[in-house]
Structure 1
Protein backbone atom coordinates (compact mmCIF):
# COMPACT_ATOMS: atom_id res chain seq x y z
CA UNK A 1 0.00 0.00 0.00
CA UNK A 2 2.87 2.40 0.71
CA UNK A 3 3.76 2.46 -3.00
CA UNK A 4 0.23 3.33 -4.15
CA UNK A 5 -0.17 6.65 -5.89
CA UNK A 6 -2.56 8.42 -8.23
CA UNK A 7 -1.28 11.46 -10.06
CA UNK A 8 -1.67 14.34 -10.31
CA UNK A 9 -0.29 15.04 -6.85
CA UNK A 10 -0.80 17.98 -4.52
CA UNK A 11 -0.11 20.83 -4.34
CA UNK A 12 -2.60 21.38 -7.14
CA UNK A 13 -2.50 23.87 -9.97
CA UNK A 14 -5.58 24.85 -11.98
CA UNK A 15 -4.63 22.31 -14.65
CA UNK A 16 -3.87 19.45 -12.25
CA UNK A 17 -7.03 20.10 -10.19
CA UNK A 18 -9.15 20.00 -13.36
CA UNK A 19 -7.48 16.72 -14.38
CA UNK A 20 -8.19 15.23 -10.95
CA UNK A 21 -11.87 16.20 -11.20
CA UNK A 22 -12.34 14.72 -14.68
CA UNK A 23 -10.49 11.53 -13.69
CA UNK A 24 -12.91 11.12 -10.78
CA UNK A 25 -15.87 11.78 -13.08
CA UNK A 26 -14.66 9.14 -15.55
CA UNK A 27 -14.04 6.56 -12.83
CA UNK A 28 -17.48 7.08 -11.25
CA UNK A 29 -19.14 6.82 -14.67
CA UNK A 30 -17.80 3.25 -14.94
CA UNK A 31 -20.22 2.40 -12.09
CA UNK A 32 -17.64 -0.13 -10.95
CA UNK A 33 -16.92 0.13 -7.19
CA UNK A 34 -13.86 -2.10 -7.55
CA UNK A 35 -12.32 0.46 -9.91
CA UNK A 36 -13.45 3.57 -8.03
CA UNK A 37 -12.06 2.46 -4.65
CA UNK A 38 -8.44 2.82 -5.77
CA UNK A 39 -8.72 6.61 -5.99
CA UNK A 40 -9.04 6.64 -2.17
CA UNK A 41 -6.60 5.87 0.63
CA UNK A 42 -7.21 2.49 2.30
CA UNK A 43 -8.54 4.34 5.39
CA UNK A 44 -10.34 7.14 3.51
CA UNK A 45 -13.20 8.79 5.39
CA UNK A 46 -16.44 9.81 3.72
CA UNK A 47 -19.62 11.60 4.50
CA UNK A 48 -22.15 11.04 1.75
CA UNK A 49 -25.28 12.97 2.72
CA UNK A 50 -26.21 11.29 6.04
CA UNK A 51 -23.95 8.24 5.65
CA UNK A 52 -20.50 8.07 7.25
CA UNK A 53 -17.94 5.57 5.92
CA UNK A 54 -14.33 4.67 6.48
CA UNK A 55 -12.09 2.47 4.38
CA UNK A 56 -12.24 0.94 0.95
CA UNK A 57 -14.42 -2.04 1.88
CA UNK A 58 -17.15 0.31 3.14
CA UNK A 59 -16.75 2.48 0.03
CA UNK A 60 -17.14 -0.54 -2.27
CA UNK A 61 -20.24 -1.77 -0.40
CA UNK A 62 -21.78 1.71 -0.43
CA UNK A 63 -21.19 2.23 -4.15
CA UNK A 64 -22.44 -1.26 -5.07
CA UNK A 65 -25.70 -0.57 -3.24
CA UNK A 66 -25.94 2.94 -4.73
CA UNK A 67 -25.60 1.71 -8.31
CA UNK A 68 -28.08 -1.11 -7.76
CA UNK A 69 -30.79 1.51 -7.18
CA UNK A 70 -29.53 4.47 -9.25
CA UNK A 71 -30.07 2.98 -12.70
CA UNK A 72 -28.72 4.68 -15.82
CA UNK A 73 -26.34 6.75 -13.66
CA UNK A 74 -24.41 9.41 -15.61
CA UNK A 75 -22.35 12.06 -13.85
CA UNK A 76 -20.73 15.40 -14.58
CA UNK A 77 -18.24 16.98 -12.16
CA UNK A 78 -16.76 20.47 -12.46
CA UNK A 79 -13.99 22.11 -10.48
CA UNK A 80 -15.40 24.68 -8.07
CA UNK A 81 -12.26 25.70 -6.14
CA UNK A 82 -8.89 24.31 -5.05
CA UNK A 83 -5.92 24.93 -2.81
CA UNK A 84 -2.76 22.99 -1.94
CA UNK A 85 -4.24 19.53 -1.23
CA UNK A 86 -7.97 20.27 -1.38
CA UNK A 87 -10.49 20.41 -4.21
CA UNK A 88 -14.13 21.47 -4.15
CA UNK A 89 -16.42 20.13 -6.87
CA UNK A 90 -19.93 20.84 -8.07
CA UNK A 91 -21.72 17.95 -9.72
CA UNK A 92 -24.89 16.84 -11.44
CA UNK A 93 -25.95 13.30 -12.16
CA UNK A 94 -29.04 11.67 -13.56
CA UNK A 95 -30.53 8.28 -12.81
CA UNK A 96 -33.83 6.46 -12.71
CA UNK A 97 -35.40 4.44 -9.91
CA UNK A 98 -37.08 1.02 -9.92
CA UNK A 99 -40.33 2.62 -11.09
CA UNK A 100 -38.65 4.32 -14.07
CA UNK A 101 -38.81 7.82 -12.53
CA UNK A 102 -35.86 9.98 -13.62
CA UNK A 103 -33.99 12.11 -11.08
CA UNK A 104 -31.23 14.70 -11.26
CA UNK A 105 -28.98 15.01 -8.24
CA UNK A 106 -27.28 18.36 -7.65
CA UNK A 107 -24.49 18.79 -5.17
CA UNK A 108 -21.12 19.81 -3.87
CA UNK A 109 -18.18 17.77 -2.63
CA UNK A 110 -15.01 18.67 -0.83
CA UNK A 111 -11.97 16.47 -1.16
CA UNK A 112 -8.70 16.32 0.78
CA UNK A 113 -5.73 14.43 -0.69
CA UNK A 114 -2.74 12.62 0.72
CA UNK A 115 0.70 13.38 -0.72
CA UNK A 116 0.45 10.29 -2.97
CA UNK A 117 -2.58 11.74 -4.79
CA UNK A 118 -5.14 9.41 -3.19
CA UNK A 119 -8.19 11.02 -1.62
CA UNK A 120 -8.17 10.67 2.16
CA UNK A 121 -11.41 12.58 2.84
CA UNK A 122 -14.60 13.10 0.83
CA UNK A 123 -17.70 14.98 1.94
CA UNK A 124 -20.79 15.15 -0.28
CA UNK A 125 -23.99 17.12 0.02
CA UNK A 126 -26.68 16.61 -2.59
CA UNK A 127 -30.33 17.11 -3.44
CA UNK A 128 -32.52 14.98 -5.69
CA UNK A 129 -35.00 16.60 -8.08
CA UNK A 130 -37.60 14.65 -10.08
CA UNK A 131 -37.29 15.23 -13.81
CA UNK A 132 -39.21 14.02 -16.82
CA UNK A 133 -37.59 12.07 -19.62
CA UNK A 134 -37.70 15.19 -21.84
CA UNK A 135 -35.72 17.16 -19.21
CA UNK A 136 -32.74 14.81 -19.20
CA UNK A 137 -29.33 16.18 -20.14
CA UNK A 138 -27.21 13.04 -20.16
CA UNK A 139 -29.07 10.93 -22.68
CA UNK A 140 -27.46 8.01 -24.51
CA UNK A 141 -24.78 9.16 -26.91
CA UNK A 142 -24.33 12.58 -25.28
CA UNK A 143 -20.88 13.45 -23.90
CA UNK A 144 -21.59 14.70 -20.35
CA UNK A 145 -18.78 17.27 -20.77
CA UNK A 146 -20.54 19.01 -23.66
CA UNK A 147 -23.90 19.64 -21.98
CA UNK A 148 -24.53 23.35 -21.38
CA UNK A 149 -25.41 23.72 -17.71
CA UNK A 150 -26.80 27.22 -17.23
CA UNK A 151 -26.74 29.44 -14.15
CA UNK A 152 -30.25 28.20 -13.39
CA UNK A 153 -28.65 24.89 -12.39
CA UNK A 154 -25.62 26.19 -10.47
Structure 2
Protein backbone atom coordinates (compact mmCIF):
# COMPACT_ATOMS: atom_id res chain seq x y z
CA UNK A 1 0.00 0.00 0.00
CA UNK A 2 1.08 3.58 -0.63
CA UNK A 3 2.13 5.79 2.27
CA UNK A 4 -0.76 7.52 4.04
CA UNK A 5 0.08 10.96 2.64
CA UNK A 6 -1.64 13.23 0.12
CA UNK A 7 -2.76 12.94 -2.55
CA UNK A 8 -5.16 10.33 -1.18
CA UNK A 9 -6.64 7.44 -3.10
CA UNK A 10 -9.73 5.67 -1.83
CA UNK A 11 -7.57 2.95 -0.26
CA UNK A 12 -5.12 5.34 1.43
CA UNK A 13 -8.00 7.53 2.64
CA UNK A 14 -9.71 4.52 4.26
CA UNK A 15 -6.40 3.43 5.80
CA UNK A 16 -5.70 6.97 7.08
CA UNK A 17 -9.10 7.10 8.79
CA UNK A 18 -8.53 3.70 10.42
CA UNK A 19 -5.05 4.75 11.55
CA UNK A 20 -6.58 7.86 13.13
CA UNK A 21 -9.24 5.76 14.84
CA UNK A 22 -6.63 3.38 16.21
CA UNK A 23 -4.50 6.27 17.44
CA UNK A 24 -7.39 7.96 19.28
CA UNK A 25 -8.41 4.63 20.84
CA UNK A 26 -5.03 4.53 22.61
CA UNK A 27 -6.24 7.49 24.69
CA UNK A 28 -2.61 8.65 24.90
CA UNK A 29 -2.77 12.45 24.35
CA UNK A 30 0.96 12.93 23.70
CA UNK A 31 1.00 10.15 21.13
CA UNK A 32 -2.20 11.36 19.44
CA UNK A 33 -0.84 14.91 19.20
CA UNK A 34 2.08 13.71 17.07
CA UNK A 35 -0.36 13.05 14.22
CA UNK A 36 -0.97 16.80 13.93
CA UNK A 37 1.25 19.64 12.78
CA UNK A 38 2.94 21.62 15.59
CA UNK A 39 0.58 24.54 14.80
CA UNK A 40 -2.50 22.44 13.99
CA UNK A 41 -5.84 24.23 14.35
CA UNK A 42 -9.00 22.56 15.66
CA UNK A 43 -12.60 23.40 16.20
CA UNK A 44 -14.04 20.70 18.43
CA UNK A 45 -17.70 21.47 19.14
CA UNK A 46 -17.44 25.04 20.50
CA UNK A 47 -13.82 24.72 21.65
CA UNK A 48 -10.93 26.07 19.60
CA UNK A 49 -7.49 24.51 20.00
CA UNK A 50 -4.18 25.41 18.36
CA UNK A 51 -0.92 23.53 18.52
CA UNK A 52 0.18 20.23 19.97
CA UNK A 53 0.43 21.52 23.55
CA UNK A 54 -3.22 22.58 23.52
CA UNK A 55 -4.18 19.30 21.82
CA UNK A 56 -2.54 17.36 24.66
CA UNK A 57 -4.31 19.51 27.27
CA UNK A 58 -7.65 19.13 25.49
CA UNK A 59 -7.38 15.35 25.12
CA UNK A 60 -6.11 14.86 28.67
CA UNK A 61 -9.18 16.67 29.99
CA UNK A 62 -11.49 14.88 27.55
CA UNK A 63 -10.35 11.39 28.55
CA UNK A 64 -10.42 12.31 32.23
CA UNK A 65 -14.17 12.94 31.80
CA UNK A 66 -15.05 10.43 29.05
CA UNK A 67 -14.25 7.08 30.67
CA UNK A 68 -13.92 3.77 28.78
CA UNK A 69 -13.90 5.76 25.52
CA UNK A 70 -14.25 3.63 22.39
CA UNK A 71 -14.33 5.21 18.92
CA UNK A 72 -15.27 4.09 15.41
CA UNK A 73 -14.53 6.32 12.41
CA UNK A 74 -15.63 5.89 8.80
CA UNK A 75 -14.58 7.68 5.63
CA UNK A 76 -17.34 9.83 4.17
CA UNK A 77 -15.45 11.30 1.21
CA UNK A 78 -11.95 12.42 0.24
CA UNK A 79 -9.96 14.80 -1.92
CA UNK A 80 -6.27 15.24 -2.64
CA UNK A 81 -5.32 16.51 0.83
CA UNK A 82 -8.68 16.45 2.64
CA UNK A 83 -10.86 13.81 4.23
CA UNK A 84 -14.41 13.99 5.56
CA UNK A 85 -15.15 11.47 8.29
CA UNK A 86 -18.19 10.41 10.26
CA UNK A 87 -17.76 8.80 13.63
CA UNK A 88 -19.39 7.59 16.80
CA UNK A 89 -17.89 6.90 20.19
CA UNK A 90 -19.16 5.56 23.48
CA UNK A 91 -18.08 6.50 26.99
CA UNK A 92 -19.41 6.89 30.50
CA UNK A 93 -19.03 9.73 32.96
CA UNK A 94 -17.82 9.54 36.56
CA UNK A 95 -21.39 8.77 37.68
CA UNK A 96 -21.58 5.71 35.40
CA UNK A 97 -23.97 7.27 32.86
CA UNK A 98 -23.31 6.05 29.32
CA UNK A 99 -23.34 8.16 26.17
CA UNK A 100 -22.86 7.69 22.46
CA UNK A 101 -21.47 10.71 20.63
CA UNK A 102 -22.13 11.10 16.90
CA UNK A 103 -20.18 13.46 14.71
CA UNK A 104 -18.56 14.57 11.51
CA UNK A 105 -15.05 15.84 10.97
CA UNK A 106 -13.31 17.64 8.13
CA UNK A 107 -9.57 17.10 7.99
CA UNK A 108 -6.82 18.84 5.99
CA UNK A 109 -3.30 17.40 5.72
CA UNK A 110 0.18 18.64 4.89
CA UNK A 111 2.33 16.89 2.29
CA UNK A 112 3.99 14.76 5.01
CA UNK A 113 0.63 13.37 6.16
CA UNK A 114 0.21 15.40 9.38
CA UNK A 115 -3.19 16.93 10.01
CA UNK A 116 -3.14 20.70 9.76
CA UNK A 117 -6.84 21.43 10.36
CA UNK A 118 -9.64 19.54 12.13
CA UNK A 119 -13.26 20.74 12.27
CA UNK A 120 -15.48 18.51 14.46
CA UNK A 121 -19.23 18.73 15.03
CA UNK A 122 -20.44 16.35 17.74
CA UNK A 123 -23.71 15.50 19.52
CA UNK A 124 -24.02 13.33 22.62
CA UNK A 125 -26.95 11.00 23.24
CA UNK A 126 -27.53 9.34 26.61
CA UNK A 127 -27.78 5.54 26.32
CA UNK A 128 -28.37 2.70 28.75
CA UNK A 129 -25.42 0.41 29.32
CA UNK A 130 -27.41 -2.36 27.61
CA UNK A 131 -27.53 -0.23 24.43
CA UNK A 132 -23.76 -0.12 24.08
CA UNK A 133 -22.47 -1.43 20.74
CA UNK A 134 -18.71 -0.93 21.04
CA UNK A 135 -17.31 -3.89 22.94
CA UNK A 136 -13.58 -4.56 22.83
CA UNK A 137 -10.57 -4.29 25.12
CA UNK A 138 -10.66 -0.69 26.24
CA UNK A 139 -6.90 -0.29 25.94
CA UNK A 140 -6.54 -1.15 22.30
CA UNK A 141 -7.76 -0.57 18.77
CA UNK A 142 -11.04 -1.91 17.47
CA UNK A 143 -10.55 -5.53 16.37
CA UNK A 144 -10.61 -6.12 12.63
CA UNK A 145 -13.73 -8.29 12.95
CA UNK A 146 -15.72 -5.72 14.98
CA UNK A 147 -18.41 -4.13 12.79
CA UNK A 148 -18.02 -0.56 11.59
CA UNK A 149 -20.63 2.19 11.69
CA UNK A 150 -22.44 1.13 8.53
CA UNK A 151 -22.63 -2.51 9.65
CA UNK A 152 -23.97 -1.40 13.04
CA UNK A 153 -26.64 0.72 11.35
CA UNK A 154 -25.31 3.98 12.82
Q: TM-score, normalised by structure 2?
A: 0.90
Quick one: which of 21, 24, 30 aligns to 1:25? Answer: 21
Quick one: which of 101, 122, 139 aligns to 2:118? Answer: 122
Q: Distance in 1 between matches of 2:91 and 2:143?
A: 16
What is the RMSD of the two structures over their aligned residues, measured on CA atoms?
Answer: 1.3
Q: Deviations over 1:2-43 (max 9, x none)?
A: xxxxx4110100000011000000000000001100100000
Unaligned runs of at least 5 residues, structure 2: none
The 1:32/1:145 distance shift into structure 2, 3 A limit, reads farther
Tell me the CA shift for residue 144 of structure 1.
7.7
Unaligned runs of at least 5 residues, structure 1: 1-6
* Displaced runs of 4 or more, over 4 A: none
1:81 paired with 2:77, answer: yes
Quick one: which of 68, 75, 80 aligns to 1:72? Answer: 68
Count, aligned residues: 145
Tell me the CA shift for residue 146 of structure 1.
2.2
Q: TM-score, normalised by structure 1?
A: 0.90
The 1:83/1:145 distance shift into structure 2, 3 A limit, reads farther
1:39 paired with 2:35, answer: yes
Match of 2:152 in 1: 149
